[in-house]
Amino acid sequence: MNDEKLAPKAQVMNGNGPVPPAFLREKQVASYLSVSVQLLRKQRANGHGPVWMKFGHAVRYPIVDLEEYVRDSTRSFTGECNNQTKRPYKPN
């Protein structure tokens, strides 16, 4: 059974209500980018893709860096050069 369904989600609150999470899980990022989890794993192994962090065994993607990755990946036409460079692993 999925532990995620059993455990209640912790929510951080401020004066205006719940604070959005600072990190997304692998499956959430794959869904957001419309790619497979396998592609994200391959990109991590090759030093490409969005910036990620590891907390114990858990891989997490900072939302701020994910938004930057999407902005940097925007192209206006098909002939535009892809200037994405390898992103170094940022240890905790």
> In degrees, to the nearest 5, what angle opens at C-alpha 37 toward C-alphas 18 and 67?
45
pLDDT of residue 4: 47
Sequence ranges of the domains in the chain = 21-72
Query: Of 20 and 24, which is predicted with more confidence?
Result: 24
Using the predicted structure, report yes or no on whether residue 76 has a pLDDT greater than 90. no
Q: At what angle do helices 26-33 and 63-72 cross, to 10 degrees?
A: 30
Asked if residue 57 lies in contact with residue 26, where contact means CB atoms within 8 angstroms, the answer is no
Q: Residue 3 — very low, low, confident or very high, per pLDDT cuts 50/70/90?
A: very low
Q: Residue 88 — very low, low, confident or very high, per pLDDT cuts 50/70/90?
A: low
